[in-house]
Amino acid sequence: MPTTPEPKLITGNANKPLANAIARRMSMHRGVNVGLVDARVERFNDQEVFVEVYENVRGEDMFIVQSTSNPANDNLMELLIMSDALRRSSAKRITAVIPYFGYARQDRRSKARTPISAKLVANMLVEAGIERILTMDLHATQIQGFFDIPVDNLYAAPIFALDIREHFRDSLDDVMIVSPDVGGVARARELAKRIEAPLAIVDKRREKAGEVAEMTVIGDVTGKKCVIVDDICDTAGTLCKAAQVLLDQGAAEVHAYITHGVLSGPAVERITNSVMKSLVITDTIQPTDPVKAAPNIRIIPTAPILAQAILNIWNGTSVSSLFDTPTLEPIYEGQFGH
């Protein structure tokens, strides 16, 4: 009888600590060592990406762990070239595990003569031989429809709900979930429903990209512990301003739960100096040293849910079961201590 081959992981340079953490979790679940496939992903002198896989992958179920975060283009090219190398080495199936899917903010034509880059990236991934995508909190869920292959989109909301229950367990009745804009209401409502909390919205008017003109709070936040929920925090300008507006409207304190901590430019400094008591992010994007050192930023691991999702894909069981608290709780046991 042929033995069932184990799932095999390979990673580029985008987020090696996360890839190693996923491999460790999978080893724990499987009871056998699931290591990262030995490969080199390097640059030539002119910054061309070069990939060489040192292990036999013929007939293997391959999972490439690679966020397309900053530097987005380098990490995207690494992903495409790794996939091409595996396809040409006769891998049985190639799944791209993209914890943070870059270019997702360019999901529609917002003005005349602009691209839909998310669709272009989708085409490139499929063309490179990728047969399945596993990602987390896509900026726009309709991006799943840009692919003609299966796309599993995991949500951070169930993990955030567990964390909020733990950290606000003595004052859960005072917690209010806040969407930082009208576009994120569905995401915020999902989390509010999970912890049975009320919902408020910050309505913002932008004059131009990256600049917020005015903000209005819809809902009564007086005396509440406000938790702002969003998928991406880039320069943190909107987030810090929203936190200030909420306090001005009578909120007791402000926290934020953001899936992808892009945190570019002045973001960490802004957050450190802001009125927010805490910002909770996940490690879908590798945190920089300033992010790790920031006193009011906390990082939740995504390796437990990603490892379980990879195993579920590999053995053909449900990925959506990971959205349920009873399934998720044991995976995250002991992760949310004070």
| Tens-place pLDDT, residues 280-299 | 999 999 999 999 999 999 99
- Residue 113 marked ligand-binding: no
The pLDDT assigned to 338 comes to 45
8-155+303-331 maps to which CATH number? 3.40.50.2020
Domain 8-155+303-331 identical in fold to domain 157-300: yes
Position with higher pLDDT, 206 vs 16: 16
Position with higher pLDDT, 6 vs 224: 224
The catalytically annotated residue of 8, 92, 204, 208 is: 204
Q: Residue 191 pLDDT more than 90?
A: yes
Position with higher pLDDT, 335 vs 82: 82
Per-residue pLDDT tens digits for 163-172? 999 999 999 9
One of 3.90.1150.50, 1.10.10.10, 3.20.20.140, 3.40.50.2020 is the CATH number of 157-300, namely 3.40.50.2020
Is the CB of residue 184 less than 8 Å from the CB of residue 231? yes
Q: How far apart are CA 12 and CA 67, in angstroms?
A: 9
- Residue 47 marked ligand-binding: yes
- Residue 234 marked ligand-binding: yes
Is the CB of residue 199 less than 8 Å from the CB of residue 292? no
Query: What are the residue ranges spanned by the domains of the chain?
Result: 8-155+303-331, 157-300
Q: Residue 337 pLDDT more than 60?
A: no
Per-residue pLDDT tens digits for 209-249? 656 668 899 999 999 999 999 999 999 998 999 999 999 99
Q: How far apart are CA 133 and CA 66, in angstroms?
A: 11
Q: Around 107, how many Cα atoms within 13 Å sit in the side-chain half-sphere?
A: 14
Res. 2 pLDDT band, cuts 50 70 90: very low
Per-residue pLDDT tens digits for 120-151? 999 999 999 999 999 999 999 999 999 999 99
The pLDDT assigned to 110 comes to 87
The pLDDT assigned to 127 comes to 97
Res. 183 pLDDT band, cuts 50 70 90: confident
How much of the chain, in percent, has pLDDT values that exceed 70? Answer: 96
Q: Residue 87 pLDDT more than 70?
A: yes
- Residue 335 marked ligand-binding: no
Mean pLDDT, all residues of the chain = 93
- Residue 238 marked ligand-binding: yes
Q: Residue 50 pLDDT more than 70?
A: yes
Nearest to 301 by CA among 188, 163, 193: 163
Rounded to two decimals, the pTM is 0.94
- Residue 209 marked ligand-binding: no
The pLDDT assigned to 265 comes to 94
The pLDDT assigned to 204 comes to 80
Q: In the predicted model, what is the mean pLDDT of residues 169-183?
A: 93
Residue type, position 13, single letter: N
The pLDDT assigned to 205 comes to 74
- Residue 181 marked ligand-binding: yes
- Residue 249 marked ligand-binding: no
Does residue 16 have an active-site annotation?
Answer: no
